[in-house]
């Protein structure tokens, strides 16, 4: 490793790493206590520094959630877009989108919890306009998949896709509330069962 390399690491990269570490801590705390109910001091305590020190790295408590959520959403849409661009049929697209969602939960669990619990309130703030935009795309994406599935005869025609969409929208992230990476069921398996339940129902045939 050259000195130059080390030098750049000790500035830009190290700074970014520190930020990322602090954000991971903050996300954990926001997720478990709720954003509004979490004090900056609690985040700092969890990070082992003093409250004021957080402001060397971040402008405000708000900018922390902002970064947490936008990082997650950016990555999520990249994954969704990969799926949507691969020319799959409605059913396969459904399966892959769900699978990606559970991978996101695996990777960004606290961010997903925050997204679930707080995005409705945060979206009122212009700064978080991208939350509404994301919500809009999400709806558009899922409705398209469901409608196409109905057209192709893959999905039942007697169900209101608007209704189904709403259930999926909310349920797809719900596992974030209880999922533990170290639990008995891996994300893959949870996704598989979720898909089986939604596609085929829980009745035996």
Partner DNA sequence: CATGAATGAGGATTCATTCAT
Partner DNA sequence: GATGAATGAATCCTCATTCAT
Interaction mask 136-175, DNA, x per CB under 7 A: ----------------------------------------
Q: Could you tell me if residue 87 is left (phi over 0), alpha (psi between -120 and 50 degrees) or otherwise beta?
A: left
Residue 56 as a binder of DNA (CB under 7 A): the answer is yes
Q: Could you say whether residue 40 binds DNA (CB under 7 A)? A: yes
**How far is it, in rounded angstroms, from Cα 94 to Cα 197?**
13
Pick the closer one to DNA by CB: 10 or 86. Answer: 10
Structural element, H or E, at residue 52: none
Q: With binding defined as CB under 8 A, does residue 148 bind a second copy?
A: no
Select from 117, 119, 132, 135 the one that contacts a second copy (CB under 8 A).
117
59 counts as binding DNA under rule CB under 7 A: yes
- Please tell me the distance from the alpha carbon of residue 69 to that of residue 65, in angstroms, as a whole number: 6
Whole-angstrom distance, CA of residue 114 vs CA of residue 15:
24
Tell me the C-alpha to C-alpha distance, in Å, between residue 50 and each of 43, 68, 118. 9, 21, 25
> Is the separation of the CB atoms in 77 and 134 below 8 Å?
yes
Site for a second copy in 11-40 (CB under 8 A): 33-34, 36-37
Q: Is 201 left (phi over 0), alpha (psi -120 to 50) or beta?
A: left
Instruction: State which of residues 8, 53, 86, 125 lies at the interface with DNA (CB under 7 A).
Output: 53
Shortest Å, Cβ 164 to DNA: 38
Give the whole-angstrom CA distance, residue 148 versus residue 93. Answer: 11
Query: Interface with DNA by CB under 7 A: which residues?
Result: 10-11, 14-15, 18, 38-41, 49-53, 55-57, 59-62
Query: Interface with a second copy by CB under 8 A: which residues?
Result: 33-34, 36-37, 91, 117-118, 120-121, 146, 149, 153-160, 163-164, 166-167, 170-171, 174-175, 177-178, 185, 190, 193-194, 196-205
């Amino acid at each position: 490793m050259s000195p130059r390399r080390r030098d750049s690491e000790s500035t830009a990269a190290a700074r970014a790493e520190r930020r990322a570490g602090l954000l991971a801590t903050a996300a954990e705390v926001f997720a478990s206590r709720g954003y509004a109910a979490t004090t900056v001091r609690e985040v700092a305590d969890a990070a082992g520094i003093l409250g004021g020190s957080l402001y060397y790295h971040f402008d405000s408590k708000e900018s922390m959630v902002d970064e947490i959520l936008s990082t997650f959403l950016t990555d999520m849409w990249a994954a969704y877009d990969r799926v949507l661009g691969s020319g799959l049929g409605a059913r396969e697209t459904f399966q892959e989108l769900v699978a990606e969602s559970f991978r996101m939960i695996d990777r960004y669990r606290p961010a997903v919890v925050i997204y679930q619990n707080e995005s409705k309130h945060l979206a009122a703030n212009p700064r978080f306009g991208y939350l509404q935009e994301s919500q809009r795309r999400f709806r558009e994406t899922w409705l398209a998949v469901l409608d196409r599935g109905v057209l192709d005869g893959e999905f039942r025609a007697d169900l209101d896709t608007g209704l189904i969409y709403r259930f999926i929208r909310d349920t797809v992230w719900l596992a974030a509330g209880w999922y533990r990476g170290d639990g008995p069921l891996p994300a893959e398996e949870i996704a598989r069962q979720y898909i089986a339940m939604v596609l085929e129902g829980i009745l035996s045939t």
